Amino acid sequence: MGTNATTQASNAHQAEPTRLTGAEIVWATLVGEGVTDVFGYPGGAILPVYDALRKFPIHHTLVRHEQGAAHMADGYARASGKVGVAIATSGPGATNLVTGIATAMLDSIPIVCITGNVSSKVLGTDAFQEVDITGITLPVTKHNFLINRAEDIAPAIRYAFQIAKSARPGPVLVDITKDAQQATAIFDFEAAKPRAVRPHPMRIIEESDLAKAAELIRTAKRPVILAGHGIIESGAEEQVRTLAERAQIPVALTLLGLGAFPASHPLNLGMMGMHGESWVNHAIQDADLLIACGMRFDDRVTGTTSTYATKAKKIHIEVDPAELNKNIKIDVPLAGDLREVLEELLPRISGRDGSAWLKSIDSIKGASAVRDIKNLPDLGHLYAAHVIHDIWRITGGNAIVVTDVGQHQMWEAQYYHHEQPRTLITSGGLGTMGFALPAAIGAKFACPEKEVWVIAGDGGFQMTSAELSTIAQEGIKINIAIINNGYLGMVRQWQEFFYERNYESTPLISPDFVKLAEAHGIAGLTVRTRAELASAVEQARSAPGAFLLNFKVEKEESVYPMIPVGNALHEMIRRPGKDALLENADD
Amino acid sequence: MLHTFVAYVDDLPGVLTRVASLFRRLNINIHSLTVGRSERAGLSRMTMVCEASAEAGHRIRASLFKLENVVDVDDIGKAPTVTRELALIKVATTPQNRSQIFDLVEVFRARIVDLAPESLMIELTGVESKIEGLIEVLREDEGRILEICRSGKMTMRRGHHISSVLKAMGAGVDDKPEAGAEPAEALEESAGAEPE
């Protein structure tokens, strides 16, 4: 934090127009946009910006790899709902951001990435550490800017913030040449305000479509609400809940929708899709009406589209008109902000008796549907399910859980029950391994008072484990659970099911994660049995600093149920035999 | 089927790349794309023609709107339009066949815009089939066509039509004539209201 924060420059956004360097304008604009935390890595082409940082009340977290900076900005945005900011230098600094930018793009996360570039005089000459980052990131950003004049910096950054958070959010990159950072210009925060967002001619709700939607809901016998990430982005949790309760419609969630509707709510069915609960997918396949709220019928939730919910009429409420009729044919498309559309729709919805349909779904759930495994006998094995279930139980479901990608991610979705939005942070669309640790750092900065858990596999954790240093340097409290099965587990599972158990390149040797943590000054513990589990979780929580738990779990456990690619939504691979972790009573 | 879109886009560096890149990403081949200044200051007008499934029109238009620099997109569909393409065709000539080509040019209402001892250049404006027609006839003599340059399609809806977006932006018609515009030529063009 800048010690001499109250300088002329730092207050520039609320003062008279002032002459500042481009570098100072970068920070002054960020302060004006309400930014308090940024994540970055310095280098030659961004040095003027770093030199000016001490004059501004912004905390900069030094990352260990720029991919981490982008994921931290992403985790910050997902946890807080604000725009996350990442900073990097030109060339390799900028290209290292790309995976993180693409992760944010696929999950519609508002982040702004600021990169330095070589001086405008040498742009396009293959100068040292020059790369065409606006060209590279063109398909993975909502928009990007190449700025080579100091006077263009404030308008570009303000415009970037507007683009990042408006309509369907996403990442924006602002590339600023070094000479623009060094030049001076009059900084006028108000004058740099972007023009209002243009009304989108395809984002129009027809009165007749609202009436049609209300009529479909009124007459439906077997309706299901499909609840997605758009609920959280739009802030429509209350409206979706009102719709579900008033019309007694059960709610199925996407992975990124988890938390948008309380897990303990009697109308909550659980997660849909490839690793969704069997009764959820059966309910969708049997439905006569699907009300899709802020979700995009991703291939991971539909299975084969030609056999997807063929008996159901579909209402799709979605802010991005390009998603309508993209994967699934829609009967009533409602293109608009989810909360606004539901506010218009709800007055037309009256009470409905949904008991027969709810009862029929309950009957296919069976006794084990609650996935309450705490009373199962200890057979001497440690399963990831036990670990995640206990973390859920002991944290009271109140932690922010940040997952990596793979088996543990699906088990988290199945066994950690999220009551609140923004408590599950996970890379859904891009499926970026290495996401968890840096994203958790971002989440912790966004919500310092919240308990933050990383749940990662032994493979993904090693992709970005250098960020343990960042945790140590920042002195932040994050609890890390590594689900260590000695395999790239999800790939191994696919090899088991679809490649005749040819475990090519999936077994992996890992360092002793506890020693690795200790090398960073972070305490840790290895857990091998279920008997040690609960006390280890408690120990991690009560430790004053960050704590790493290395859970040595069953090596060849798979995630069930699973819909193989190419199958219909109800054609699942079920857990073979009668096992302690049965996912359904009628197996 | 063939889709035709007319878009107003910011007249800025890199905008063409963004539009073209979108079609690349959707794995759609662009048949033709013309860009030029529009009646509005700071905005270029594009006519894009591409081959895609019948349902793809909505998604292409919606995806174009996601580009920050795209101000308006009109999916022409089957609306009544005037569509024109300009072709310059350079033809090898001999004193013997020159008059024969002059006759052809007359029939197709084309113009000779350059005449050299061994070649001449034909300028032809019209719908695609008309241009294809002239090329086909010229090709009857092998090796006669030296070069063909085609502009790609330009499309404008018939009648008074303005989108809600452009209406909201207010009248942007730049009433200053372009420097170097020749009134005589303009007159000649308007007289040629030939049926398609």
State the greatest distance between any 2 C-alpha atoms of chain B, in Å, as a whole number: 60
Averaged pLDDT, A396-402: 97
| Pick among B19, B59, B161, B166 to test the A interface (most A CBs inside 10 A) | B59
Q: Which residues of B touch A326 (CB under 8 A)?
A: 59
Question: Does B182 fall in a domain?
Answer: no
Q: Which of B18, B65, B68 sits opposite A200 (nearest CB)?
A: B65
Q: Which positions in chain A touch B163 (Cβ < 8 Å)?
A: 201
pLDDT at residue A380, as a whole number:
78
Record the pTM: 0.93
Are B167 and B110 in the same domain?
no
Which residue in A has a C-alpha nearest to residue B60's C-alpha?
A322
What is the architecture of the domain spanning A372-552? 3-Layer(aba) Sandwich (3.40)
Indicate whether B70 and B96 sit together in one domain: no
Which chain A positions have a beta carbon within 8 Å of B63's beta carbon? 322
Whose tokens are 């815009």? That residue is B113
- For B56, the enclosing helix (H) or strand (E) is helix B56-65
Query: Domain A12-187 is classified in which CATH homologous superfamily?
Result: Thiamin diphosphate (ThDP)-binding fold, Pyr/PP domains (3.40.50.970)
Asked if A359 is an interface residue toward chain B (Cβ–Cβ < 8 A), one would say: no
**Contacts of residue B25 in chain A, CB cutoff 8 Å?**
139
- The secondary structure element, H or E, covering residue A350 is none
- Do B14 and A321 count as a contact with CB atoms less than 8 A apart? no
Mean per-residue pLDDT, A93-109: 98
Do B96 and B61 lie in one domain? The reply is: no
Q: Are A200 and A321 in contact (CB under 8 A)?
A: yes
Reading the block at residue A516, the tokens are 């690795």
In this complex, the residue of A134, A142, A202 whose CB is nearest that of residue B65 is A202
Mean pLDDT of A450-462: 98
Residue from the list A139, A142, A199 with its beta carbon closest to the beta carbon of B21:
A139
Question: What is the helix, strand, coil percentage profile of chain A, to 5?
Answer: 40, 15, 45
Q: Which of B68, B162, B165, B166 to mutate to test the interface with A (most CBs of A within 10 A)?
A: B68
Q: Which helix (H) or strand (E) holds A281?
A: helix A278-286
Same structural domain, B138 and B46: no
Residue of A52, A54, A129, A46 lying closest to A92 (CA atoms): A129
Domain limits for position B60? 2-80+159-175
Confidence of residue A364 (pLDDT cuts 50, 70, 90): confident
Host H or E run for residue B83 = strand B81-92
Number of domains chain B contains: 2
Q: Which CATH number covers residue B37?
A: 3.30.70.260
Query: How many whole angstroms separate alpha carbon A104 and alpha carbon A111?
Result: 7
Query: Is B196 among the domain residues?
Result: no
In tens, the pLDDT along A123-169 reads: 999 999 999 999 999 999 999 999 999 999 999 999 999 999 999 99
> In chain A, where does the domain assigned CATH 3.40.50.970 lie?
12-187, 372-552
For residue B18, give the nearest of A138, A163, A321 by CB distance: A138
State whether B90 and B141 are in the same domain: yes
Q: How far out from the chain centre does Cα A79 lie?
A: 9
Note whether B76 and B86 are same-domain residues: no
CB A180 within 8 A of CB A148: yes
Q: Give, in degrees to the nearest 5, the angle at Cα A42 between A36 and A48.
A: 85
Report the pLDDT averaged over residues A274-292: 95
Structural element, H or E, at residue A244: helix A237-247
SS3 at position A386: helix
Residue B170 lies in a domain: yes
Q: Which of A134, A290, A153 is nearest to A222 (CA)?
A: A290
CB A528 within 8 A of CB A386: no
pLDDT value at A115 more than 80: yes
Please give the class, per CATH, of domain A207-365: alpha beta
Same domain, B116 and B75: no
Which tens digits make up the pLDDT trace of A180-218? Answer: 999 999 999 999 999 988 888 999 899 999 999 999 999
Chain A partners within 8 Å of B165 (Cβ): 198-199, 201
A326–B25 CB contact, under 8 Å: no
Residues B14 and B49 in one domain: yes
* Chain B positions in Cβ-Cβ contact with residue A320 (cut-off 8 Å): 62, 66
Query: Residue A369: pLDDT band by 50, 70, 90 thresholds?
Result: low
- Contact check, Cβ <8 Å, B59/A325: yes
Number of Cβ within 10 Å of residue A308's Cβ equals: 21
Contact A320 B14 (CB under 8 A): no
Helix (H) or strand (E) holding A143: strand A143-147
Q: Which of A165, A195, A202 to mutate to test the interface with B (most CBs of B within 10 A)?
A: A202
B181 lies in some domain: no
Minimum-distance CB partner of B68 among A135, A163, A324: A163
Residue B38 in domain: yes
Tell the burial category of A523 from Cβ atoms under 10 Å away from its Cβ (0-12, 13-18, 19+): middle
Return mean pLDDT, chain A: 94
Number of Cβ pairs < 8 A linking chain A and chain B: 43
Run of H or E including A172:
strand A172-177
Tracing tokens 């309450």 back to the chain, one arrives at: A372
Same domain (yes/no): B13, B68:
yes
Closest CA to A390 of A537, A583, A555: A537
Residues contacting A446, CB < 8 A, separation 6+: A37, A75, A76, A77, A79, A80, A82
pLDDT greater than 80 at residue A583: no
Does residue B76 share a domain with residue B22?
Answer: yes
Residue B162: what pLDDT?
A: 82
Q: How many helices (H) and strands (E) does chain B have?
A: 6, 9
Percent of chain A whose predicted confidence (pLDDT) is above 70: 94
Say what the pLDDT of residue B169 is: 83
Question: Chain B residues with CB inside 8 Å of A163's CB?
Answer: 68
Inform me whether the C-beta atom of residue A135 falls under 8 Å from chain B C-beta atoms. yes
Domain with residue B145: its CATH number is 3.30.70.1150
Q: In what order do the strands lie in the sheet with B30-37?
A: B30-37, B43-51, B2-10, B70-75
- Residue range B3-23, pLDDT digits in tens: 999 999 999 999 999 999 999
Chain A 295-334, CB below 8 Å of chain B: which residues?
320-322, 324-326
Smallest CA–CA distance, residue B178 to chain A, in Å, is 29
| Closest by Cβ to A321, choosing from B55, B62, B72 | B62
A214 near A57, Cβ under 8 Å?
Answer: no
Residue segments in chain B with a per-residue pLDDT below the cut of 70: 171-196
Residues B76 and B87 occupy one common structural domain: no
Q: Give a yes or no: residue B188 inside a domain.
A: no
pLDDT digit string (tens) for A261-276? Answer: 999 999 999 999 999 9
What residue type is A345 in one-letter code?
A: L
Q: Are A311 and A223 in contact (CB under 8 A)?
A: no
Do both B22 and B39 map to the same domain? Answer: yes
- pLDDT band at residue A96 under the 50/70/90 scheme: very high
User: Which residue of chain B has the CA closest to A169?
Assistant: B66
Q: Which residues of B touch A (CB under 8 A)?
A: 14, 17-18, 21, 25, 55, 58-59, 61-63, 65-68, 71-72, 163-165, 168
ipTM, two decimals, is 0.91
Q: Which of A331-335, A459-463, A545-549, B140-144 has the lowest mean pLDDT?
A: B140-144
On the question of pLDDT at A395 being above 90, the answer is yes
Query: B45 pairs with which residues across the strands?
Result: B8, B36
B194 belongs to a structural domain: no
Mark yes or no for CB contact A201/B17 under 8 Å. no
For residue A529, give how far its alpha carbon lies from the nearest alpha carbon of chain B (Å): 49
Q: How far apart are the first and last CA of chain A?
A: 58
For residue A7, the number of C-alpha atoms closer than 13 Å in the C-beta half-sphere is 18
Task: List the beta strands (DSSP E) in A435-495.
Answer: 452-457, 479-484
Query: Are A142 and B68 an interchain contact pair (Cβ–Cβ within 8 Å)?
Result: yes
